[in-house]
Amino acid sequence: MSLMRALSSTTVPLAHGLHMPLFGLGTSHRGGYCHEAIVYALTECGVRHIDTAKRYGCEEELGKAIRESGIPRSDLWITNKLWPGDYGHTAAKMACLDSCSHMGLDYFDLYLMHWPESLQPGCSNRKVRAETWRALEELYEEGVCHSIGVSNFMVSHLEQLLEDCSVVPHVNQVEYHPFQQPHELIDYCRQKGIVCEGYSPLAKGQVLSNPTILQIAEKYRRTPSQICIRWSIQNGVVTIPKSTKKNRIKENCQVFDFQLEAADMLALRELHDGRHVSWDPTNIE
């Protein structure tokens, strides 16, 4: 199977029937966006899934790159995220429509609440999450968001949301790499029909020098990055490595023509030590 075909055809079904590409390209703030790299990923590598957020400050540029690629909108999966500063029913709906406008899009394939904590002083996080989620439910019903979900939500946050609202999140995007494997959270999500998506699959570069990962990479004649991305995908987790370098993007995409043996999957599972390389939502109520 060619690289382009693998990237477009390897998907995971969501609870409402849509199929989400298992591999995507992440973006970020602080230098985490490169126009040429996005166009290259779309046109030369066959990437069809792009993840971004209002917080990253690259919506307009990303919209231009998507148009420049010439890829039909219907062939793409675009995820955007709602920043807590825009939480609340009215603000959330307005922020989503503004993000669509900035990107030149009529809809998002997936729209996520970015973080479980509200930035509204004196307000209950649970109450604000519920109000915001109801806005996302309306955006979903109106077709502005074809799927809706959350990011960085722990089991406690999901339990509350399911009690307060009617639509179960389609996706929960969390930090996921060999050093951070939230097994309890993933098991809970799967029981509820929520697909897990993992960001920072390379632990911001910390995996690249790990002896176990280096040994496995040598065995398969692959790079440490490819081993960790393959491990994540093989665990059924939607995976969105980010890079602004063309050669790294191509390298990260080339993970569909080999499979890790059970013993190596186990060795990587045993690397979990609980560290976070990004935000830690554990203690947010």
The residue length of the chain stands at: 285
Strand-pair partners of 108 = 145
Distance CA 221, CA 48 (A): 27
- Which amino acid, 276? H
Task: List beta partners, residue 45.
Answer: none
Q: Is 107 a catalytic residue?
A: no
Taking CA 42 as the corner, what is the angle to CA 226 and CA 195, rounded to the nearest 5 degrees?
60
With helix as H, strand as E and coil as C, how does 85-96 read?
Answer: HHCCHHHHHHHH
**How many angstroms separate the Cα of 182 from the Cα of each of 157, 204, 275?**
14, 17, 11
User: Does 29 count as an annotated binding residue?
Assistant: no
Inter-residue contact 206 to 229 (CB < 8 Å): no
Distances in Å between the alpha carbon of 244 and those of 32, 158, 200, 206?
7, 33, 14, 18
Distance CA 162, CA 155 (A): 10
**Tokens read off for 210:** 């790990």
**CA–CA separation, 189 vs 186, rounded Å?**
5
Amino acid at 118: S
Check 56, 87, 111, 199 and give the catalytic one. Answer: 56
Give catalytic residue positions: 56
Binding site membership: which residues? Answer: 114
Binding site membership for substrate: which residues? Answer: 114
